[in-house]
Amino acid sequence: MPLFKPPFYKLPIFKTGWLLLALLSYSSLGIAATLTLKQAEALALASNPALHAADSNAVAMAAIPSQVSSLPDPTLSLNAMNLPVNSFSTTQENMTQMQIGFSQALPFPGKLALKAEAAERLAEAAASNRDELRLLLLRNVRIHWWNLAYLDKALMLVQSNQALLRNLVRVSEAKYKTGSGLQQDVLLAQLELSHLLDRELSLKTQREFQVAELNALLGRDSVAALTLPEQLPEIIKATPNIIVLKQWARDNRPMLASLNRHVDAAGSLVALAEKDYYPDFKLGAVYGVRQGINPVNRQSRSDLGSIMLSMTLPIYAGNKQDRAVDQRKAEKAKAEFSWQDGLNRVYAEIDAAASDLRITREQLSLFKQGIIPQARQTTASMLAGYQVNKVDFLNLVRAQLAEFNNDIQYWQLYARAAQAEARLAAASGKKHLEKDVINHE
């Protein structure tokens, strides 16, 4: 079934940003525009605040590597050295100096590069987390959109069956008045009609909940009206290639990529901790200005210069560097185990979604080709028999309700199959299940 599109959406100008702008305008005006699945996905990607937060976090993390790979800021010093406190004169004492100094901390070679490497891997992990959130957002939008689609179909069926039962109530009342029917038939029809009214209220409550959930994903007010098209997208009619999907997920699922980047970052931090066994340096230079006359040779006092080199002494390695290396190695092992656990969970998600999709598609085929046509034939036969008093009213009502329940279950299975497809795509790290991962039947 093709996607339903109002005529103005067919214009080229509405196929890109204008379409999203129109949707946002409808939302701000409180107009319940028909929302297709593709439009819901586009709106969520453009407006979901959690996705924007993840994107901002990725941008922030990307700014860290250049910071940690830079040398520490140098130090500028201004000193008054050997200044006599009895006069504060700069000419009284021979060693009095007004100094200007400059010093620069120099980490042991390789440390800054390792810090930058770890930060780059963590920035890549943040970008992968954003991509993972985008996948999960699309999955959740599809799940809630299909829940809403099923509820709309169920409400339509409930209202249609209410009309049928009202007609049966009138028929049973007419037969009862003419003496060819029973009062219990009238009461039974009224009872089943009441049950349908109760079910309608329950479905409307569920729909309000799904509307609120979907609006939250779309970045809209939770009570904004949502109207879905009557024609629904088709579900896939072929079997996904699980082996291909698992290989793709291993190589491309953002969650696994993020966990792998954490493993790489942990490895860099292990190497950095091992570098801490070596000293860091500090290089400095000072220029001292002296004033006054040298009493020995009666000449102006010469200025003085100093050069300094200092280094740290890692003499507490047993309690400090050794423990830091152990800590970083344990963190790397944790990251590796987390990646393996993530891979196992991804494979389990793929298997579960693929199984659900396969079984649901088989159930849909059974309902479409067997159960629903048989139920319709049964109801028609019961109705014909009831009109000539060959079938009792109870069996007619049961047949009508069975047909109604089968119709509702069909659309529930239809939505469930589409949701399984959405879960399978997300678990595999794909926005959509493409032709290269489908085994055509």
User: What pLDDT score does 180 carry?
Assistant: 58
Residue pair 248/72 in contact by the 8 Å Cβ criterion: no
CA-nearest of 376, 401, 397 to 386 is: 397
Give the angle subtended at the CA of 98 by the CAs of 94 and 101, to the nearest 5°: 125
Q: Where are the beta strands (DSSP E) in 363-439?
A: 438-439
> How large is the C-alpha radius of gyration of the chain?
38
Cα dihedral 38, 434, 149, 41 in deg (nearest 10): -30
Instruction: Give me 137's structure tokens.
Output: 């957002």
pLDDT band of residue 142 (cuts 50, 70, 90) is: very high
Distance (Å, rounded) from C-alpha 364 to C-alpha 351?
A: 20
Residue 388 confidence (pLDDT) above 90: no
CA-nearest of 346, 146, 362, 328 to 251 is: 346
CA-nearest of 292, 310, 312 to 302 is: 292
Q: Is the pTM of this model over 0.85?
A: no
User: What pLDDT score does 435 carry?
Assistant: 53
Q: Break the chain into its structural domains and give their ranges.
A: 37-71+108-278+316-428, 72-106+279-313
Residue 8 confidence (pLDDT) above 50: no
Tell me if the domain spanning 37-71+108-278+316-428 has CATH number 1.20.1600.10. yes
Query: What residues form DSSP beta bridges with 104?
Result: 283
Measured CA to CA in angstroms, residue 50 lies from 19, 129, 212 at distances of 22, 12, 16
pLDDT band of residue 175 (cuts 50, 70, 90) is: low
CA atoms in the 13 A half-sphere facing the CB of 304: 12
Query: What residues form DSSP beta bridges with 76?
Result: 102
pLDDT band of residue 437 (cuts 50, 70, 90) is: low
Relative orientation angle of helices 393-428 and 372-387, to the nearest 10 degrees: 170
Find the mean pLDDT for residues 116-135: 95
The fraction of the chain above a pLDDT of 70, given in percent, is 86
Relative orientation angle of helices 393-428 and 321-366, to the nearest 10 degrees: 140
Mean of the per-residue pLDDT values for the chain? 85
User: What pLDDT score does 4 carry?
Assistant: 35
Q: Of the ranges 77-86, 199-208, 290-299, 308-317, which one carries the lowest mean pLDDT score?
A: 290-299
Comparison of pLDDT for 239 and 182, the residue scoring more: 239
